A and B are shown apart, each in its own frame.
Chain A
């Protein structure tokens, strides 16, 4: 068994694990492009996924894109790309253009939503999506469907009342929800030790009567494994799981933040050495699935995709001002 590569032992094909890596690299490239556009004065705001791609990729592949539901949070760029969004849709959102499927340019970038793909629209007050996921899971249970609902949030959000109310509710009713905490160590400037009195967010699961699991969020395959287990359990009627993926936010909180005021460059550089994308790249090289040539091809394809998306989104029209009054209520246009 020793020579069976990890991904195959987990049930992932070679093509799937390469695809997982491609999504991580694509998410990073889209994210970096948004920063570039922001610093060039072309898009007013960016909120990043950098450092959290591996956690999102592992989770995204463990779910079923054909039936499961997402209540993502604003750093889940890699996840929504896996779920069917593209560089183009997210750059349309960054440029706030009418064709943006998330909100038609109404919301800031990172506020994902798409009914066609079962991604419930999210807002900015953190944690409000957690009870929504419980409600979706309740509907699944009531209708006897075997879909699960995945909801993600940061460790800072795990201090919100909605986190507690939602996890308790899901625990009482044994609902098929995957609570996925992307612990990136910072709530804007406040470090983990000033946010949590317990050692891990996952420890809190005990209070809700279900399992809490800690996973290295920089290891996409390990995240895949634990999320897959939680999903299988939820589909079998075994109830919710709280998973805490330990990651690191490599970028400032947003384009309006300066993280030099609250953490050292050495700390960030140290975290960068453990970047989940690099770890996945090394893994693929080690099992012979990726070489320099293949990597260069992938890089160029991604670059072309992001370039095309940028050009398209920049040229795309904004929402007409007269649409301001549309969709406050149904059929009101």
Chain B
């Protein structure tokens, strides 16, 4: 076991997959000489050469479109979109092309590719360097969407995404890059896509969350434990396909569910999780399902007051958890 930062876990897993399989290559803006604006791809150019670490023009649609073509021709591209906020010009390529390639060709063609994108706020990124865009893609059959919260999952899910025969969107929360450290196994085992993980066992309330929310919920759960409230925390890890079995089991375990995410509430992932529980486990519940999510504004402001007012906090999550426990 090695202890790594979240960003190191991503970097190392990517480098190891490139070493393991010569078909894997990275492309994106500033991923080469600069090593990525966050340094996720630092050193890869020196190690693997410019044929496999490609600095592209500023051209998100072509980054994804070229990756689709390269994957059709037998390569495994890992495309980086510099900020998740900038993925929108590539949405036609992602939704019309990558997501539908296998289906529309009746299983003749497929797109084994990964699109990595840093998302989320809390880093003074203002409106266009802070967004959570995952729900735009979780609606789309043909795509897989993962949002690791820990270094171990960041490594394992990246390996799984690279080895997956279908397109995977890999969203990495940029506030976790250098704030979260954790053990990462030496082995190169993937973490299976589509499987949630219980991050803390508890009996009174269940928190279902992902990404940064996992860390907020775990810290809040520690505080609640001091007051005798036992919280169960389920980390979704994969947002499409959702792990229905794990979600229902976590809901039934305590009968009280709080769903937490930084993305705004309306039609967010929490809405689907909530509907799933309502459809299959309503009579096991002891309280209405609650959601704590980002506010219904277009994005968070640059001013620290506005950013703080937007972001979830340990205090806010703990308060929502206590309120649910009291119900």
Residues in chain A within 8 A of chain B (CB atoms) = 69, 71, 101-104, 106-107, 111, 113-115, 120-121, 123-125, 128, 130-140, 142-143, 149, 161-162, 165-166, 168-169, 172-173, 326-331
Indicate the member of A120, A132, A161, A166 with the most B CB atoms within 10 Å.
Answer: A132
Q: Is the CB of B65 within 8 A of A130?
A: yes
Question: Which A residues touch B108, using CB under 8 A?
Answer: 101, 113-115, 121
Contact of B73 with A by CB under 8 A: yes
- Show 20 A/B contacts (Cβ-Cβ < 8 Å), sorted by A: A103-B106, A106-B103, A125-B96, A128-B92, A128-B96, A131-B65, A132-B68, A134-B69, A135-B68, A135-B70, A135-B71, A135-B72, A136-B70, A162-B62, A165-B62, A166-B62, A327-B103, A329-B144, A330-B165, A330-B166
Question: Which A residues touch B52, using CB under 8 A?
Answer: 142
Question: Which B residues touch A120, using CB under 8 A?
Answer: 69, 72, 109
> Taking CB as reference atom, which chain B residue is nearest A144?
B51
A125 to B97 CA separation, bound complex (whole angstroms): 9
Question: Which B residues touch A138, using CB under 8 A?
Answer: 54, 66, 69-70
Residue from A69, A137, A162, A330 within 8 A of B65 (CB atoms): A162
Question: Which A residues touch B51, using CB under 8 A?
Answer: 142
> Taking CB as reference atom, which chain A residue is nearest B142?
A328
> Taking CB as reference atom, which chain B residue is nearest A329?
B166
A279 to B69 CA separation, bound complex (whole angstroms): 36
> Taking CB as reference atom, which chain A residue is nearest B241?
A329
Q: Is the CB of A161 within 8 A of B61?
A: yes
A133 to B67 CA separation, bound complex (whole angstroms): 10
A321 to chain B, nearest CB (A): 15
Q: How large is the interface on B (under 10, 10 to 19, 20 to 34, 35 or more residues)?
A: 35 or more
Question: Which B residues touch A106, using CB under 8 A?
Answer: 103-104, 106
Contact of B237 with A by CB under 8 A: no
Contact of B75 with A by CB under 8 A: yes
Q: Is the CB of A131 within 8 A of B69?
A: yes
> Taking CB as reference atom, which chain A residue is nearest B65?
A131
Contact of B59 with A by CB under 8 A: yes
Q: Is the CB of A121 within 8 A of B109?
A: yes
A164 to chain B, nearest CB (A): 8
Residue from A133, A142, A173, A327 within 8 A of B75 (CB atoms): A142
Q: Is the CB of A166 within 8 A of B107?
A: no
A166 to B60 CA separation, bound complex (whole angstroms): 11
Contact of B288 with A by CB under 8 A: no
Question: Which B residues touch A169, using CB under 8 A?
Answer: 56-57, 59, 62, 66
Query: Given known contacts A132-B72, A136-B73, what 5 new A-B pairs fall within 8 Å (CB)?
Result: A114-B108, A123-B96, A131-B69, A138-B69, A139-B74
Indicate the member of B61, B68, B92, B102 with the most A CB atoms within 10 Å.
Answer: B61
Contact of B89 with A by CB under 8 A: yes
- Chain B 193-240 residues near chain A, CB threshold 8 A: none
> Taking CB as reference atom, which chain B residue is nearest A135?
B69
Question: Which A residues touch B179, using CB under 8 A?
Answer: none
Known A-B contacts A121-B104, A135-B68; the reply to A330 vs B62 at CB < 8 A is: no
Question: Which B residues touch A132, using CB under 8 A?
Answer: 65-66, 68-69, 72, 97
B71 to chain A, nearest CB (A): 7
Contact of B105 with A by CB under 8 A: yes
Known A-B contacts A69-B73, A135-B73; the reply to A168 vs B59 at CB < 8 A is: yes
B123 to chain A, nearest CB (A): 28
A115 to B263 CA separation, bound complex (whole angstroms): 39
Question: Which B residues touch A131, using CB under 8 A?
Answer: 61-62, 64-66, 68-69, 93
Contact of B100 with A by CB under 8 A: yes
A103 to B104 CA separation, bound complex (whole angstroms): 6
Q: Is the CB of A134 within 8 A of B75?
A: no
B22 to chain A, nearest CB (A): 10
Known A-B contacts A168-B59, A330-B165; the reply to A71 vs B69 at CB < 8 A is: yes
A330 to B110 CA separation, bound complex (whole angstroms): 8
Contact of B141 with A by CB under 8 A: yes
A125 to B100 CA separation, bound complex (whole angstroms): 12
A165 to B61 CA separation, bound complex (whole angstroms): 7
A139 to B73 CA separation, bound complex (whole angstroms): 6
Residue from A162, A173, A327 within 8 A of B106 (CB atoms): A327
Q: Is the CB of B65 within 8 A of A168?
A: no
Contact of B101 with A by CB under 8 A: yes
Q: Is the CB of A166 within 8 A of B65?
A: yes
A137 to chain B, nearest CB (A): 8
Known A-B contacts A125-B96, A131-B62, A165-B62; the reply to A327 vs B102 at CB < 8 A is: yes
A86 to B165 CA separation, bound complex (whole angstroms): 30
Question: Which B residues touch A103, using CB under 8 A?
Answer: 104-106
B65 to chain A, nearest CB (A): 3
A161 to chain B, nearest CB (A): 6
A330 to B142 CA separation, bound complex (whole angstroms): 10
Known A-B contacts A114-B108, A132-B72; the reply to A329 vs B65 at CB < 8 A is: no
A136 to B103 CA separation, bound complex (whole angstroms): 20
A136 to B121 CA separation, bound complex (whole angstroms): 36
Contact of B171 with A by CB under 8 A: no
> Taking CB as reference atom, which chain B residue is nearest A175?
B66
Q: Is the CB of A328 within 8 A of B61?
A: no
> Taking CB as reference atom, which chain B residue is nearest A140?
B73
A280 to chain B, nearest CB (A): 33
> Taking CB as reference atom, which chain B residue is nearest A113?
B105
A177 to B74 CA separation, bound complex (whole angstroms): 17
Contact of B177 with A by CB under 8 A: no
Question: Which B residues touch A326, using CB under 8 A?
Answer: 107
A268 to B151 CA separation, bound complex (whole angstroms): 65
> Taking CB as reference atom, which chain B residue is nearest A326?
B107
> Taking CB as reference atom, which chain B residue is nearest A145?
B73
Question: Which A residues touch B170, using CB under 8 A?
Answer: none
Q: Is the CB of B107 within 8 A of A123?
A: no
A140 to B74 CA separation, bound complex (whole angstroms): 10
Q: Is the CB of A327 within 8 A of B69?
A: no
